[in-house]
Structure 1
Amino acid sequence: MADPSPQTAPADSRRMADRILRPVARMLRGAGWLSVLAGALWPVQAAVLAWAVSGWVEGQDPLSRALPAAAVFLAVAVIRAGLEHRSGALLFKAADRTMARERAALIRREAREPSGIGSAAPASLAVQKLPLLQPWITRYHVAMLRARILPALLLALAFWHSWLVGLTLLVAGPLIPVFMALVGMAAEEASRRQMAEVGDMNTMLMERLSALTDIRLLGATERATQDFAARAESLRQRTMAVLRVAFLSSTVLEFFSALGVALVAVFVGFTLLGEITIGTWGAPLTVGQGLFLLLIAPEFFQPLRDLATAWHDRAAGQAVVAELEALDAAPRAAMLGRGEAAEPLPGPLSLRTEGAVVALGGGRVALPDLAVEAGQSLALVGPSGSGKSTTLAALAGLVPLAGGAVTVCGRRLDAGAADGWRARLALVPQRPHMPDMSLAEWLDPRGTGADPRAALRLAEAEAIVARLPEGLATRLGESGGGVSGGEMRRLMLARAAMAGGDLVLADEPTADLDPDTARRVIAALERMRAGGRAVVVATHDPALAVAMQTRVTLGGETGA
């Protein structure tokens, strides 16, 4: 990820707002005006309270004004509550829609066009950082609209009753936006640094987890622990920096708002005592007018205080958008085709590579020259990092070539042929992923509705399903909870069998399995080949490599 810039230019801010806020602008406008209307009703409640209390001070019957005042006050309160509830519902709907849109675009793009920077940054954005857009969407726009309208309305009402109170509010009010802007610059920088640190820590975690075996073998566990401790301490410092700025901002804003309210209270008090005789438009200030001014003075500052809080939310949200834009601009390897369902590519099965080269992450991976037809099996062997998984991805058209060619069914594998070619493939990934669906649905990736028993029998997986509490209706969860790793591999083979097609691509199908389970997996692959399918596996397992008809060592020779 790119380093966060120290400050967001106005053009950048507008671009970010267009990306996040414009698609939901209609809902934001509706929510904003509902909230403004709710805030504009407070002077009505304040006037009713002042009218009732002034009557009591003048010696009138308390109930003569209390009952109608209470009725009006409660009625207006119910209306305000309804307006705020509807405003909040629109805001959170807009936030949910925005986060869902950005998350779907992020996941769809990373699935089809991986950036080569690893999965930690996109995962951190999707899970941890995108939710930080919610406060920006739900608070900032409404706070800005309220700050533009409500203080001006309350200021006009204050000037109507007392030019001195109006002048006091007019002087104290603008100090809040000024200091909010000054502190906001520091808040934006602190938020950006915190977001960058969160991303760096997630990247470190993914790197250490992927190398956990090597770390333990090399005795570097203590060093890895120290690295995590240092990174966690750095994140703590970044977070505390954000909190310090937030507390500083809150202190400054509370000081000026409290000072403004206190000055109004002093003026009203001494005016009613007769000690101050200026500040009104000729007539002395009444108890009702003084109480009304005291009630609206805090509400004059409240929209400005809300805006100051939302300013921090905006800074955090823009830091997230800056990371989204940096990820948008990252170089990518686009998947061939559209990734949509298509008619299978016609013609007899054939697969050939000639001088094929894949460019990934700034490097180039040369693929071996190979040829596979129906009923044949081939093993890709070689050390970790030699390009076995990359070769499988290229054979499936999941990564584009930088040179050479892959020929499938007599035609070049390009964007026009990729979707039809994949319709003839069955993929067995190294790590399972179980969507939130029943086992029966998952076993039938093409939605044929066929009986899965034959596929389960081929993979020797019938007993696995039989012992599950709900059988084929069981939902295993994303990691396949409820079945062992070996059982999950056999279920993936059954899924590949149900997917149909002529070619099975399997990535390390026997990795980390005990000898008996590995033997079952190898036997299932052999049954698929004997049934007329071609099988290509990437493996470190000598037993699996020997079981295949042909072995290709990446960087080495081809042998039987």
Structure 2
Amino acid sequence: MTRIAQPVAGKLKLAGWLGVASALIWPAQAALIGLVLGDLVAPGVSPSLSPLAGAAGFVVLALVRIVLDWISQKLSADAAEVVLRESREKLIRKALRQASGAAALSPAELASLSAEKLGALGPWATRYQPAFLRARIIPLAFILLAATQSWAVAGILLIAGPLIPIFMALVGMAAQDASEKQMVEIGSLNRLLIDRIAAITDLRLLGAEARSRADLETKSEDLRLRTMAVLRVAFLSSTLLELFAAIGVALVAVYVGFSLIGWMNFGTWGSKMTPAEGIFLLMIAPEFFQPLRDLAAAWHDRAAALAVASELETTETAIAKANTLMGTGGEGAAPTLGALRWHGLQIRPGEAAAPLPLPDGDIAPGEAIAITGPSGAGKTTLLTALVGLIHPEAGKITLGDTSLTEENADDWRAAFGWIPQSPRFADASLRELITLNRPGDLDAALDAAQATEVVAGLPGGLDARLGDMGGGVSGGEARRLLIARAHYAGRPIVLADEPTADLDAETGAKVIAALLALRSQGTTLIVASHDPALVAAMDRQIDLEGAA
């Protein structure tokens, strides 16, 4: 938590000290009330103060407290906003640097952690942090103030006060454990929900809707139970701490009452307690416990924030260990073209996987090459390495006279077009997705990719928005749209990962024809595929069999 709060530590500290200053005004208000009421109850026993002067002083001090509280809350709210914004930006920046296929953080986990879970940092900054500082200072200050009037009352507060932090610590351990389990369930449910939404068409075809619904119901029930466990701990802690606070205030009230009626003649500093002193002590006793009560109320905010901070640190560590994108991910200028070669490549597919050795290769400009081999041989891994999406553990990749490095990766990728096996679409119109708002011949690109009829069948045509999963188009149609984008971009090298996977023969033939249209324009075409028809349509193949 210290690392997360570092950018706003000064603002949070100032907010806490303003809260302390506001709370320390209350004894002055209590003294004014004590003097006014004490003189009315027993004239001449204690210093007198006119009701008008007392009321005026009380109102002025109340206004000062209101201003201080407002500034304190504003500062802590601003600090919370900064913490949330910077934590989310940092997480998303790191997540976007994951290489293709990296499994450190799925989209569902990213959405759950960045949107829902990180929200727990807000109450921690706005409630817990200021309450923590007040709880460290205010009770001690009030004990000293009470001791100036009655050592007995100071003793009562000194005994009752520490019980609250002790039980807070005991309950806090249970609260953090319950919060961590709740966060795990939130992530699991979100991940399952996204997976089921993505596979909803397949689930319907397989008749597995009932089973999928049962899985979601089970996960939802698990989350409900975890949430109720957190709430039980929170309510238990509040009940215990309110009990101790009530007992402490009641003991002070009993002592003051008995002292004023003469039944107790001890606990003061050699003189009988006056009504003004008794009223003052009665009024500061509840405020002695208030910072501790506020801290107790915010204790589950701390537990939730600690759970989120722990998960955030674990996630960021996992992302750091995973294979990350080379370069910055920005736009670049394509290097001078030439033969694409690689030699001595070793690539680690995942964090726990051993480096995968890949056979050397040499592809001349304009060639159409099929990368073949069994599942797990490294076809997709090789493509992602060639396009500069992952760091090789060893080896060298060159394009003409240019070697792929971390420094020139953005320029390197400017020479490549990429067609993934599982199409994904940004939240933009189809026109923007294909053209990327750049000039060109869109109709020619659609015709070359045999995608004109696909666009014509969509509501809104080129203005249609497909959604992340390509809703409204089939798998083959989605791939033809991506091929149309490759035609439009005119990149000299295009890589396609299993472009005909899971397609029927007729649809696969259309995709193959769209890819060959790229090759006829002089584009270097590299495909990873198991499809005999697609492999046969290429000039030659590079077989990875036995390379793994």
TM range (shorter): 0.7 to 0.9
Q: Distance in 1 between matches of 2:467 and 2:30?
A: 56
Q: Distance in 1 between matches of 2:152 and 2:527?
A: 85
Q: Distance in 1 between matches of 2:104 and 2:189?
A: 18
Give the match's secondary structure for 1:356. Answer: strand
The structural deviation recorded for 1:398 is 1.8
Residue aligning to 1:528: 518
Percent of aligned pairs with the same amino acid: 46
Pair 1:294 & 2:282 matched: yes
Q: Is the 8 A contact 2:25 2:61 kept in 1?
A: no
Q: Distance in 2 between matches of 1:158 and 1:474?
A: 72
The structural deviation recorded for 1:396 is 1.1
Give the match's secondary structure for 1:415. Answer: coil
The structural deviation recorded for 1:259 is 0.9
Q: Is the 8 A contact 2:4 2:83 kept in 1?
A: no
Residue aligning to 1:341: 331
Could you tell which deviates more after superposition, 162-171 or 547-556? Answer: 547-556
> How do 1:304-323 and structure 2 match up within 5 A?
304-323=292-311
Match of 1:426 among 402, 417, 422: 417
Residue aligning to 2:162: 174
Letter of the aligned partner of 1:359 in structure 2?
R
Q: 1:335/1:284 Cα in 2 relative to 1: closer, same or farther (>3 Å)? A: same
Q: Is the 8 A contact 1:28 1:90 kept in 2?
A: no
Q: Distance in 2 between matches of 1:378 and 1:441?
A: 30
Q: Is the 8 A contact 1:99 1:131 kept in 2?
A: no
Q: Distance in 2 between matches of 1:454 and 1:376?
A: 22
Q: Is the 8 A contact 2:249 2:285 kept in 1?
A: yes
Pair 1:459 & 2:449 matched: yes
Give the match's secondary structure for 1:363. Answer: coil
Q: Distance in 2 between matches of 1:450 and 1:533?
A: 17
Q: 1:519/1:285 Cα in 2 relative to 1: closer, same or farther (>3 Å)? A: farther
The structural deviation recorded for 1:363 is 3.4
Could you tell which deviates more after superposition, 171-180 or 127-136? Answer: 127-136
Q: Is the 8 A contact 2:374 2:545 kept in 1?
A: no
Q: Distance in 1 between matches of 2:52 and 2:208?
A: 83
Q: Is the 8 A contact 2:493 2:525 kept in 1?
A: yes
Pair 1:43 & 2:16 matched: no
Could you tell which deviates more after superposition, 109-118 or 27-36? Answer: 109-118
Deviation sequence 1:524-557 (CA, Å, 0-9, x none): 3222221111122234555444443334554289
The structural deviation recorded for 1:29 is 1.8
Letter of the aligned partner of 1:347 in structure 2?
L
Could you tell which deviates more after superposition, 176-185 or 404-413? Answer: 404-413
The structural deviation recorded for 1:261 is 0.9
Paired residue total: 539
The structural deviation recorded for 1:373 is 2.9
Structure 2: stretches of 5+ with no match in the other structure: none
Q: Distance in 1 between matches of 2:38 and 2:125?
A: 42
Match of 1:504 among 475, 480, 494: 494
Query: Root-mean-square deviation (CA), in Å?
Result: 4.4
Q: What's the TM-score, normalizing by structure 2?
A: 0.80
The structural deviation recorded for 1:263 is 0.9
Q: Is the 8 A contact 1:48 1:72 kept in 2?
A: no
Q: Distance in 1 between matches of 2:35 and 2:99?
A: 65
Letter of the aligned partner of 2:248 in structure 1?
G
Could you tell which deviates more after superposition, 436-445 or 27-36? Answer: 436-445
Residue aligning to 2:254: 266
Q: Distance in 2 between matches of 1:275 and 1:281?
A: 17
Q: Distance in 1 between matches of 2:15 and 2:445?
A: 54
Residue aligning to 1:250: 238
Match of 2:10 among 12, 26, 31: 26
Q: Is the 8 A contact 2:95 2:105 kept in 1?
A: no
Give the match's secondary structure for 2:348. Answer: strand
Q: 1:245/1:72 Cα in 2 relative to 1: closer, same or farther (>3 Å)? A: same
Q: Distance in 2 between matches of 1:327 and 1:61?
A: 63
Q: What's the TM-score, normalizing by structure 1?
A: 0.79
Deviation sequence 1:450-496 (CA, Å, 0-9, x none): 56454345435556667877776666544455666555434323332
Q: 1:274/1:451 Cα in 2 relative to 1: closer, same or farther (>3 Å)? A: farther
Letter of the aligned partner of 1:306 in structure 2?
D
Pair 1:357 & 2:346 matched: yes
> How do 1:479-490 and structure 2 match up within 5 A?
479-481=469-471, 485-490=475-480
Q: 1:116/1:283 Cα in 2 relative to 1: closer, same or farther (>3 Å)? A: closer
Q: Is the 8 A contact 1:24 1:98 kept in 2?
A: no
Q: 1:129/1:85 Cα in 2 relative to 1: closer, same or farther (>3 Å)? A: closer
The structural deviation recorded for 1:262 is 1.0
Letter of the aligned partner of 1:538 in structure 2?
A
Q: Distance in 1 between matches of 2:428 and 2:32?
A: 59
Q: Distance in 1 between matches of 2:168 and 2:104?
A: 40
Q: Distance in 1 between matches of 2:211 and 2:448?
A: 47
Match of 2:102 among 114, 126, 136: 114
